[in-house]
């Protein structure tokens, strides 16, 4: 059965999305259109390129995820970290992440959005310079850039550039330079994107969200400035989407709570990575037992 899919952001927790994809694939569902933010954008792009869940599992087994962080020995010094964040606006460049995505997409003949079926992939990014949410590749025309010529891997890097962790991506256009960061700043789960276009209900839209459902969502405990920052960022990235989800009754969303893992915990052991993937699969399997499609 053909469906449209939306995958949420979540950093390293996005491994659970692969497990959910595996469960959907085993049930015979095939994606026609995909959307995602951050880690969800990575998974959506790989699926759009034709990778099966089995192939994605192999890719994750082969990669040492910490190597996606453009790291070197000197950056481990605290004073260097602070200088880098202050002057470069991020601990890591994000180039290694983009190169890895680019390599995997090129293996399937995907370079730019012209190499994908029209409207088959959309990812969310945040333009800090102009204060707006971007749907890529659609909104590239606002910058005088032909969307068909834009590299998919660069769009994925924009969507996954977690503020202060990765440097912003500089988009040069006739407007000048715009600083692009993680789409999760403004919409971490863009299920609204397909729903508003799917008025005729041509296909079901299924979402995979790395969080509790709205009823089971735990209240934030704010005890210090760090807790407040975490709560602030969570509210920024989730409030808009949660308001929309509440109106949709959550009936088409697979919720995968992953509070035990940090978004930037790239040093997970192979066992923990496998556990995350299996957890995502089990949550999706439980959901599909009740899903009417």
Q: What is the mean pLDDT of residues 96-123?
A: 97
Residue 125: pLDDT over 60: yes
Which residues have C-beta within 8 Å of that of residue 8, sequence separation ≥ 6?
17, 36, 37, 38, 39, 40, 188, 189, 207, 208, 209, 210, 211
Q: Out of 4, 127, 182, 238, which one is annotated catalytic? A: 182
Give the pLDDT confidence score for residue 155 in this predicted structure: 98
Q: What predicted TM-score, i.e. pTM, was given to this entire model? A: 0.89
| Percent residues over pLDDT 90 in the chain | 60
Query: Which domains does the chain possess?
Result: 2-288 (3.40.1090.10)
Closest CA relative to residue 194, chosen from 63, 32, 30: 32
Helix/strand/coil (H/E/C) assignment for every residue in 63-96: CCHHHHHCCCHHHHCHHHHHHHHHHHCEEECCHH
| Cα–Cα distance measured from residue 22 to residue 57, given in angstroms and rounded to the nearest whole number | 9
Q: Among 164-168, 204-208, 279-283, whose mean pLDDT is lowest? A: 164-168
Give the pLDDT confidence score for residue 202 in this predicted structure: 79
Q: Among 22-31, 149-158, 268-277, whose mean pLDDT is lowest? A: 268-277
Residue 148: pLDDT over 70: yes
pLDDT per position as a tens digit, 23-81: 999 999 999 999 999 999 999 999 999 999 999 999 999 988 878 887 654 455 565 66
Give me 39's structure tokens.
């880690």
| Average pLDDT of every residue of the chain | 87
182 carries an active-site annotation:
yes
Give the pLDDT confidence score for residue 75 in this predicted structure: 53
CB-based burial, 64-78: b 16+ in 10 Å, e otherwise: ebeebbbeeeeeeee
pLDDT per position as a tens digit, 1-13: 999 999 999 988 9
Collapsing DSSP states into helix, strand and coil, what is residue 265? coil
Higher pLDDT, 192 or 228: 192
Give the pLDDT confidence score for residue 76 in this predicted structure: 57
Q: What is the mean pLDDT of residues 257-266?
A: 79
Q: Out of 38, 159, 161, 178, which one is annotated catalytic? A: 38
Residue 87: pLDDT over 60: no
Higher pLDDT, 230 or 113: 113
Residue 199: pLDDT over 60: no
| Cα–Cα distance measured from residue 126 to residue 159, given in angstroms and rounded to the nearest whole number | 7
Q: Are the beta carbons of 24 and 252 closer than 8 angstroms?
A: no
Residue 19: pLDDT over 70: yes
Residue 84's pLDDT band, with cuts at 50, 70 and 90, is low
115 carries an active-site annotation:
no
């Amino acid at each position: 059965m053909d469906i449209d899919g939306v995958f949420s952001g979540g950093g390293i927790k996005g491994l659970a999305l692969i497990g959910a994809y595996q469960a959907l694939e085993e049930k015979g569902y095939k994606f026609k259109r995909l959307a995602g933010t951050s880690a969800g954008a990575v998974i959506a792009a790989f699926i759009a390129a034709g990778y099966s869940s089995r192939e994605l599992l192999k890719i994750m087994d082969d990669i040492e995820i910490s190597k996606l962080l453009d790291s070197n020995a000197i950056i481990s010094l605290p004073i260097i970290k602070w200088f880098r964040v202050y002057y470069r606006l991020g601990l890591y460049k994000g180039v290694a992440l983009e190169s890895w995505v680019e390599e995997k997409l090129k293996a399937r003949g995907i370079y730019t959005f012209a190499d994908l079926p029209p409207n088959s992939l959309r990812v969310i990014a945040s333009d800090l310079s102009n204060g707006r949410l971007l749907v890529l590749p659609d909104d590239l025309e606002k910058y005088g850039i032909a969307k068909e010529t834009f590299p998919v891997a660069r769009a994925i890097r924009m969507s996954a550039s977690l503020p202060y962790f990765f440097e912003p991506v500089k988009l040069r256009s006739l407007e000048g330079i715009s600083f692009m960061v993680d789409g999760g700043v403004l919409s971490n789960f863009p299920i609204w994107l397909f729903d508003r276009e799917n008025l005729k209900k041509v296909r079901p839209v299924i979402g995979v969200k790395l969080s509790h459902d709205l009823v089971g969502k735990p209240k934030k405990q704010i005890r210090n400035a760090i807790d407040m920052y975490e709560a602030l960022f969570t509210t920024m990235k989730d409030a808009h989407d949660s308001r929309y989800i509440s109106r949709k009754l959550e009936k088409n969303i697979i919720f995968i709570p992953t509070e035990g893992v940090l978004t930037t915990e790239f040093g997970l052991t192979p066992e923990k990575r496998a556990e995350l993937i299996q957890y995502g699969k089990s949550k999706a399997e439980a959901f599909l037992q009740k899903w009417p499609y």
